Structure 1
């Protein structure tokens, strides 16, 4: 049970440092996630700097309030009851985007596509695989996002974080605990705020052509025109989730406005006004039927958070 006096105290502490339009009480998370579902967060904070984020984390800790940190709101499903405590979303955290030789330094709040385009203008290659991945750079590092044979662990050389106590730490790549859709930050209660990428010199025209080709492939195969959180399930060893779902005959399976995409079975989409409960029911039915037909248990890649 969240202490309402603590919530009031949190807002009061930060009101002198963060403007009211970035300190939102009882804010529907459906407005801030790519699935376009989710109940209210007790308090949603949209920090514009690492200092503001650190202040928010320290205030929450001092008042014993739980904290959830999000990037751009992709790869997450917020339940209909919303999130108790404090949600800090980093998509306004855009203060640093610079290049030195073959290294790019960027704030975690930048959208991946914008970082990829920035790299292209600097004739740097290696991150083209990420140009169509929805979400922010920080969220991509948190999940070790990947596509088309590449993943963030291949290009991330250094990360700056804010810990659950509000202190700032720096990690080099050997200490980030990267695995398939995993990083140390998922367990360490540290929040990525700045990322250094180590890339290679390339031809700008070839880099642009590669990104355009990948985007064309995505648009032709994935339901980018609909609300989703990206790929819904992790790839099980030896299989592809979408192929298993398709082979089970589940394209178009629906509950309310939640549906297994008819374009790509690896995506659950919101076709209109789905609830989180609708989406979860589709996910669970897919898991049940695929396991029954193929003996493979699909695990969600999407983070499922909040209360029913």
Structure 2
């Protein structure tokens, strides 16, 4: 199916202003890299998502789901088919000890809402840059907390375009993974079960974690966050630092001198620069220490020349 036909068909389900053709994905990613999307869609309702999912499945069209795109590298050749960016679904509601958030909401904003409602348990998320959907997808965590600690249930849209509720246990959450990575379901809403807390203490904890993040992480440059998972018995950043790889640069991307676990886009870098630097770091650490670094960041899309 050609892109013009695809655009026309998608506009049957989604308002025309929310459908873009050939948009550069670098405009929507934390790394500021990524080629063009064939058709980029910003849905505003669960119904729109259901219809697009069912349509793409029926016509065998590739479908990619993005939120804040903070832990993903989209290759320079871009993404084929339909790309849904869910940031327009950002409603957050408080009911008693529960917070229900749509998947496009920033997890940082949900953490702030919890603070305002004097609810404790989400302080760890006060510095995580991703969306609720992304946090669910990879069971995001920081500073000793993770999503599975406070999640109650999730509303998903299945790969057939149907809506269903899944419990925390059904999501199979573990270190940086969930069943959403395997079954292609789209999380559209999450309910967090929190505890009553003292607002001053909650704020103090959030301030402490914010200070730690700002003092240790290279937030002044575009990046994809922590590049590698924590290898058993080691810390990825220390291995990279001990391998004397800090400030190693390929193209416009370099290993951060502030935190070796980060790679930052310092000079109009490309996705290819990121991918080559990741490979170089993995190879060097393996040669020097015998440790295989596994990526935490997702790499998706087509290589250059496949647009």
Considering the TM-score relative to the shorter chain, is it more than 0.5? yes
Q: 1:8–1:64: structure 2 CA closer, same or farther, 3 Å change rule?
A: farther
The answer for the alignment partner of 2:219 in structure 1 is 224
Name the CA distance, whole Å, in 1 between partners of 2:251 and 2:11. 40
Instruction: Measure how far apart 1:16 and its partner are.
Output: 4.0
Greater shift after overlay, 197-206 or 13-22?
13-22
Are the aligned partners of 1:143 and 1:181 in contact in 2 as well (CA < 8 Å)? yes
Equivalent position SS for 2:189: strand
Greater shift after overlay, 144-153 or 12-21?
12-21
State which of 266, 276, 280 in structure 1 corresponds to 2:275.
280
* Aligned pairs (5 A) from 1:182-221: 182-221=177-216
The answer for the alignment partner of 1:248 in structure 2 is 243
1:165-210 deviation digits (Å, cap 9, x = unpaired): 1111110111111111000000001011000001110001111111
Structure 1 residue runs of 5 or longer lacking an equivalent are none
Are the aligned partners of 1:10 and 1:59 in contact in 2 as well (CA < 8 Å)? no
State which of 43, 52, 57 in structure 1 corresponds to 2:53.
57
Name the CA distance, whole Å, in 2 between partners of 1:207 and 1:287. 38
Name the CA distance, whole Å, in 2 between partners of 1:14 and 1:257. 36
Name the CA distance, whole Å, in 2 between partners of 1:258 and 1:252. 9
Equivalent position SS for 1:27: coil
The answer for the alignment partner of 2:123 in structure 1 is 128
The answer for the alignment partner of 2:93 in structure 1 is 98
The answer for the alignment partner of 1:19 in structure 2 is 15
Instruction: Measure how far apart 1:20 and its partner are.
Output: 2.7
Does 1:150 find its partner at 2:142? no
Name the CA distance, whole Å, in 2 between partners of 1:32 and 1:25. 14
Structure 2 residue runs of 5 or longer lacking an equivalent are none
Give me the CA root mean square deviation.
1.0
State which of 59, 84, 89 in structure 2 corresponds to 1:88.
84
Name the CA distance, whole Å, in 1 between partners of 2:148 and 2:219. 25
Name the CA distance, whole Å, in 2 between partners of 1:21 and 1:135. 25
1:45-65 deviation digits (Å, cap 9, x = unpaired): 111111111121122122210
Are the aligned partners of 1:22 and 1:46 in contact in 2 as well (CA < 8 Å)? yes
Equivalent position SS for 1:131: helix
Name the CA distance, whole Å, in 1 between partners of 2:241 and 2:252. 19
Equivalent position SS for 2:225: coil
Name the CA distance, whole Å, in 2 between partners of 1:101 and 1:128. 18
Name the CA distance, whole Å, in 1 between partners of 2:95 and 2:244. 50
Matched length: 303
1:239-288 deviation digits (Å, cap 9, x = unpaired): 11001100111100101110000100000110120011111111000000
Name the CA distance, whole Å, in 2 between partners of 1:117 and 1:245. 33
TM-score normalised by the chain length of structure 1: 0.96
Are the aligned partners of 2:39 and 2:83 in contact in 1 as well (CA < 8 Å)? yes
Equivalent position SS for 1:88: strand
Name the CA distance, whole Å, in 2 between partners of 1:198 and 1:10. 40
Equivalent position SS for 1:187: helix
Name the CA distance, whole Å, in 2 between partners of 1:155 and 1:272. 39
